[in-house]
Amino acid sequence: MKILLVGSGGVGDALSRILARRFRTRPFADAVVVADYDLARAQRTVEAVRHREGDAGVRAFSAARVDASDAASVEALAREVGATHVMNAVDPRFVMPIFTGALAAGADYLDMAMSLSKPHPTEPYAKTGVKLGDEQFALAPQWEDAGRLALVGIGVEPGLADVFARYACEELFETVTELGVRDGANLTVDGYEFAPSFSIWTTIEECLNPPVVWDDGAWSTLPPFSEPEVFDFPGAIGPVECVHVEHEEVLLMPRWLQADRVTFKYGLGEEFIGVLKTLRKLGLDRTEPITVKGVEVSPRDVVAASLPDPATLGPLMRGATCAGLLVTGTGKGEGFAGRPREVYLHHVVDNAWSMEEFGAQCVVWQTAVNPAVALELLADGRWSGAGVLGPEALPHRPFLDLLAAEDGYASPWGMQERTPTPSSSS
């Protein structure tokens, strides 16, 4: 396996660190070419890997320059380095050039976010327009014909959440009422009253786009911030207000799994929801430039520039982040067969741990560990396929085992049985 990693921002950098650590005991790839539009940034990642993991860890690594907005640039570099797998770790705006560049180069492809949506032109808050991933699935026949695999949405959400969904549908439930992704955190940043731990540009994009749900065999959309619900997260996180958000899992799970309803709710919390609503009210969510005293500037870029750079906040952050899937339906197996069941499958990462172990903040590390697991499964053949597939199209057991195993990635996931105990009188 030769990996071309496109993008050495937060997630690309963390993935490099995770792979290098793993290669100490299991060097499953011969090469990792870390490529960025900014070559110096790619070099910084390789240097950071050398610093943390030593010369042995970094042996497979090299840095290169690539223009992720240009499929020809991606194809050329993939051919030049003989990439068997192109791993996309950049902004979703660049999904399509990397996806098509990989196909042209005859490489397999992985990403953690799918091609972007466009709202329905007249009924944006009721009907879907172009959906997340539609552009990629339209090219599925070409990937099948080429016998190559595009494994899309293999971060944590989408990614691990989709693996959880397959596990629930195969092993825990006879019929599923809802596959409900629920994401929440209790992160704070020392010294800042308000400092998002992730890109506010992307958060605005996700949260102000019409959220999509799968309901009774069809996709539809809702107004932003619909159906607020307080979800009680495990660990020290506790209750957080969650709302519907547009997310890939809702588009992936129904393609391979059976459920009445598929949803994604994000634990933004009341304060953040208020901030996003105000930005929209003032037009500060807009990306088109406006003229300010003779200068052209995009209001959303100004909002992002006004806040501290999330990439610099890791050392100042405290708390943990939780990704997970709430599943309701009729159980299967001993003690649950034929009875209503509710479980929350989840994965919690503490920031102090990920900073100490990898020098990566927890949200970014949690995203990056999943493609590392997937690449290892693809390298040794436990995962394989052709076409455009989501994580739920592949067997869940090897993934969940390798993620949690002490001699694997040592990052345990958990399951809360939330089924109410039947009262003794019933």
The residues of the shown chain that bind a second copy, judged by CB under 8 A, are 193-194, 274-275, 278-279, 281-284, 286, 290-293, 295-299, 301-303, 305-307
Closer residue to a second copy (CB): 157 or 285: 285
CB of 408 to a second copy, least distance (A): 41
Work out the angle at residue 342's Cα, subtended by the Cα atoms of residues 340 and 348, and round it to the nearest 5 degrees: 170
Distances (CA, A) of 409 to 137, 158, 225, 391, 401: 31, 19, 35, 18, 9
CB of 286 to a second copy, least distance (A): 7
The answer to whether 281 touches 257, Cβ cutoff 8 Å, is no
The residues with which 31 forms a beta bridge, in sequence order, are: 2
CB of 291 to a second copy, least distance (A): 7
CB of 298 to a second copy, least distance (A): 8
Closer residue to a second copy (CB): 191 or 295: 295
Gap between the Cα atoms of 298 and 292, Å rounded? 10
Closer residue to a second copy (CB): 52 or 286: 286
Closer residue to a second copy (CB): 154 or 275: 275
Q: Specify the DSSP class assigned to residue 159.
A: B
Closer residue to a second copy (CB): 306 or 424: 306
Q: Which helix (H) or strand (E) holds 143?
A: helix 140-146
Closer residue to a second copy (CB): 175 or 287: 287
Work out the angle at residue 409's Cα, subtended by the Cα atoms of residues 182 and 358, and round it to the nearest 5 degrees: 85
CB of 304 to a second copy, least distance (A): 8
Using DSSP, how many helices (H) and how many strands (E) does the chain show?
Answer: 14, 20
The residues with which 239 forms a beta bridge, in sequence order, are: 232
Question: What are the DSSP E strand ranges found in 190-287?
Answer: 212-215, 218-221, 229-233, 238-244, 261-266
CB of 316 to a second copy, least distance (A): 16
CB of 306 to a second copy, least distance (A): 4
Closer residue to a second copy (CB): 284 or 415: 284
Q: What are phi and psi of 151, to 5 degrees?
A: -100, 105
The answer to whether 62 touches 36, Cβ cutoff 8 Å, is no
